[in-house]
Amino acid sequence: IKEVVQGLDKKLTIDSRIQFYAYKHLSNYIQANNAKGGSAVVLDNISGEILAIASFPSYNPNSPQRKIKRNRALNDAFEPGSIIKPLAVAKGIDMGIISKNQVINTSPGFINLSGRVISDPKNYKNITVSEVIAKSSQVGASKLALLVGIEGLISGYKEFGLSRPPNIFFPGIAYGVINSRQNITDHEVASIGFGYSMTASSLQLAQAYSVFANDGYLKDFKIFIDNFDSSFEQKVIRSDTAEDILDSLKLVISDGTGSLAKLKNFEVAGKTGTSHKASSRGGYDQSKYIASFVGIAPLKSRRLTIFVSIDEPGLNNYSGGSVAAPLFAAIASDVLSYLDE
């Protein structure tokens, strides 16, 4: 008989109170909006710790179902939609191709690329690059993507960590796939510029946005306190580029699609995303969406990055600005009060 060898103790960075807040608000919003599911991720930009990873529906050992054994924040990759636009713009600014105050002509409210039409809800006419982000203009984002080019977009997304799995020990962790085939059309380049023809996970997108809070540095966030996860930190954009994007993300809240993410006592910055889901029959299902929001709060300390997504919200309330932004606000408000920021 062999003597029992005790295993190693591992202490998670997950804060039970923050995890409770994230799960409580996530489950409430999903059920209130008749949604299929969703995820929430809370990162501490200063310590590099993952404070919460919530997924709904959650696994219930009393009613085991294979389809909900996964953690959506870690195991699911999806087309992020407009959440991706600031990353594309950041790459363009860093390359010296565009600037945040550069004016983009989006008239007459649509653009024809490769025989396909990309349109905005209205004609925004002449708007700055920052306003392209704030108003989430598809026409503006398309023109910017073509300026950056497919090589710039792909290299930029890779630098933001979207093509490799987050460096944490978790089974089946998802990571993004980016369309990088040869002979890509202008329409496909534009699509990649506003978050289609590519995928990413909730954790990947949260980590990517932490770059704007961390002076342009990308880091691997850890889930074990004893540094089981290997550390990684890399400068991916200039400091002034990170500040330019933060200014644009503030405009999203004050004068753009993210007004419902406002907090009473804290200034925040963030971005909405609304993406069609792919159809099993090919193309996209016009009745199924993923609504998302990612924000940095509070701006004074830039301590937290919070990402939330809602899978297939009801058709009466399906946009990132209308359903995901207020979910972010609910989680952020409780977490910041708890942390006494």
Between CA 171 and CA 262 the distance in angstroms is 35
Q: Which residues contact 119 (CB under 8 A, 6 or more apart)?
A: 109, 110, 111, 138, 139
Buried b (16+ CB within 10 A) or exposed e, 67-96: ebebbbbbbbbbbbbbbbbbbbbbbbbbee
- Whether residue 302 is contained in a domain is answered as yes
- Whether residue 18 is contained in a domain is answered as no
- Whether residue 10 is contained in a domain is answered as no
Show the domain range for 319.
Answer: 24-57+72-339
- Total structural domains within the chain: 1
The 8-class DSSP code of residue 256 comes to S
**pLDDT score at 23:** 97
pLDDT in tens, 134-184: 999 999 999 999 999 999 999 999 999 998 877 776 767 777 788 777 789
Which residues in the chain show pLDDT less than 70?
7, 59-69, 169, 171, 227-231
The reported pTM is 0.93
Residues 222 and 11 sit within 8 Å (Cβ to Cβ):
no
Backbone angles phi, psi at 4, to 5 degrees: -65, 130
Residues 91 and 76 sit within 8 Å (Cβ to Cβ):
no
Supply 276's token pair: 């069609």
- Whether residue 15 is contained in a domain is answered as no
Instruction: State the CATH number of the domain containing residue 147.
Output: 3.40.710.10
Residues 100 and 248 sit within 8 Å (Cβ to Cβ):
yes
Catalytic residue among 27, 55, 82, 210: 82
82 part of the active site: yes
